[in-house]
Structure 1
Amino acid sequence: MSVRAENLVWGVKRRVIVDDVSLVVEPNETLGLIGPNGSGKSSLLRLLAGLRRPARGTVAINGKPIAGYGGKELARIVAFVQQSASTDTNVAVEDVVRLGRTPHRSALGAWTPLDGDAVRRALEQVDMFTRRGQRWQTLSGGERQRAHIGRALAQEPSIMFLDEPTNHLDIHHQIEILRLVRDLKITSIVALHDLNLASLFCDRIVVLEAGRIVASGRPEAVLTEDLLRDVFKVEARVRRGLDHGKPEISFAVA
């Protein structure tokens, strides 16, 4: 499914956080959102996912305005993975992932084999199947993040929004999660801090600064030394790697 945003504006009180943003995400594309802290990545994700209403502008999913979707209808299409989530209830990992099936079931509907298969598959995809019975309060931050991604996968969405999904993960699971997201046959919009990971796993990159898009395109076209200096305020060397010419960034440290 495609996502189209036109002239999105959103802010808090008199501060504009997302400023006249327009973009298109094609079906099955993985789009990376990058930018300094406070550039508007998380806010833009929530606008695109329908979790916030813009002050101005529109969002359409597959050509239909997002306001035209019912809540449950939208939840069958869109999954959102936030940076971190907590609960005081000491539930099991499998209980968290089972929540992803809620949009597919009626209030009194019985649990079905299809639901069980979706949950099992999601647990395996995030490498948490053997820990499905482990209690929430005993999990590390990375394990909790993988469980939440599993919940989103159990939802079987057509579009997935992920806000810093690799936070708290070790490098092995950072790579495995982003590889999984890239290889899913769905549309994905991912906010990331790690520019090398964005380069490796995103088809296109959008760079935000102060709520506006300052660059957009394939990683090899966008991630330049000039952009890193102007937007991220760092000196870096960019060279073309062996992975289809994807840029590899090394930072100069004084």
Structure 2
Amino acid sequence: MTVIARKLCWGVKRKTIVRDVSLAVRAGETLGLIGPNGSGKSSLLRLLAGLKQPLSGQVEIQGRDIANVPRREVARNVAFVQQSAATDTNVSVRDVVRLGRTPHRSALSGWRASDQEAVDGALRQVGMTHLQHQSWQTLSGGERQRVHIARALAQSPQVLFLDEPTNHLDIHHQIEILQTVRQLNLTSIVALHDLNLAAMFCDRIIVLKDGALIASGAPETVLTEELIASVFRVAAAVSISPHHGHPQVHFRTGDNAAV
């Protein structure tokens, strides 16, 4: 499914958080959102997913303005993975993932084979099958994040929004999760704080600063030393990795690290 945003603006009281952002994401593409803390990445994701209503502008998914689409219908096609979530309920991992099937079921429908297959597949994709009967309360932060992603995958979405999904994960699982997302046959928009992960796993990157979109394109054209210095206020050297062929950012240390 395609995702198109036209001149999105949103803010709280007198503070503008997303400023006149327009973008287009092709079906099956993985788009990365990068920018410093407070740049508007999370707010933009929620606008694109229909979780916030813009003050002006609109979002179209597969050519339809999502403001005019029933929320349940949106939920059948769009899944959102937030940075973190908590619950005091003592439920199993599998029960959490089963919640992803809610938009596809009516109040009177029973649990179907297709629901079972979706949950099993989602657990398998994030490597949590062996913990499916374990209590949610006993999981580490990284394990909980993987379960949240599994719940989103169980939803069988066509568009997946992820807000810094690698938070709390060790390096191995960061790469594993983003490889999983990258290989899915769906449209993905992911906010990331790690520039090297964005370069490795995103087809295109957009850069936000103070709520405005200031750069957009392939990682090798966007991730320049000049842009990193301007947006993130750090000095870095950028090269092409001989191992994976993507840009690789090396941050400088010492007296000249900040700019």
TM-score over 0.5 for the pair: yes
Which secondary structure state, in structure 1, belongs to the residue aligned with residue 103 of structure 2? helix
TM-score in terms of structure 1 length: 0.99
SS at match of 1:142: helix
C-alpha displacement of 1:241: 1.2
Please list every run of 5 or more consecutive structure 2 residues that lacks an aligned counterpart in the other structure.
255-259
Query: Which amino acid letter does the alignment assign opposite residue 20 of structure 1?
Result: D
Provide the alpha-carbon RMSD of the alignment. Answer: 0.7
Query: What TM-score results when the alignment is normalised by the length of structure 2?
Result: 0.97
Identity %: 65
Return the alpha-carbon distance in structure 1 between the equivalents of residues 98 and 28 of structure 2: 25
Q: Deviation at 1:243?
A: 5.1
Query: For residues 41-120 of structure 1, what are the structure 2 equivalents within 5 Å?
Result: 41-120=41-120
Judge conservation of contact 1:83–1:165 (CA < 8 Å) in 2.
yes
* C-alpha distance after superposition, 1:211-241 (max 9, x if no partner): 0011000000000000010000000010011
- Aligned positions of 1:99-248 closer than 5 A: 99-242=99-242, 245-248=245-248
How much has 1:244 moved relative to structure 2? 5.8
Amino acid at match of 1:111: W
Mapped to 1, the partners of 2:103 and 2:208 lie a distance apart of 32
- Residue identity matched to 1:62: Q
| Equivalent-residue separation in structure 1 for 2:111 and 2:246 (angstroms) | 45
Structure 1 gaps, min length 5: none
Give the Cα–Cα distance (whole angstroms) in 1 for the partners of residues 54 and 149 of structure 2. Answer: 26
Aligned residues: 254
Report the AA paired with residue 110 of structure 1: G
What's the CA shift for 1:71? 1.2
The code of the aligned residue for 1:98 comes to: R
Amino acid aligned to 2:123: L
- Structure 1 segments of 4 or more deviating over 3 A? none
Cα offset, 1:45, TM superposition: 0.1
Deviation at 1:245, TM superposition (A): 3.4
Q: Residue 4 of structure 1 aligns to a residue in which SS?
A: strand
